[in-house]
Amino acid sequence: MITTKEILALLPYSDPFLFVDEIKEVNEQGCEGVYRFRENLPFYRGHFKEQPVTPGVILTECCAQIGLVCLGIFLLLSEEQTFSGKLQIAMSSVEMEFLNATYPNEEVRVVSEKVYFRFSKLKCKVKMYNSNNEIVCKGTIAGMIKPGQHA
d(CA 117, CA 134): 28
- Please give the full DSSP string across 77-112, using - where no structure is assigned: HHTT----S-EEEEEEEEEEEE-S---TTEEEEEEE
Of 108, 143, 97, 137, nearest to 124 (Cα)? 143
- Known catalytic residue: 47? yes
| Catalytic one of 36, 47, 123, 138 | 47
Which positions are catalytic?
47
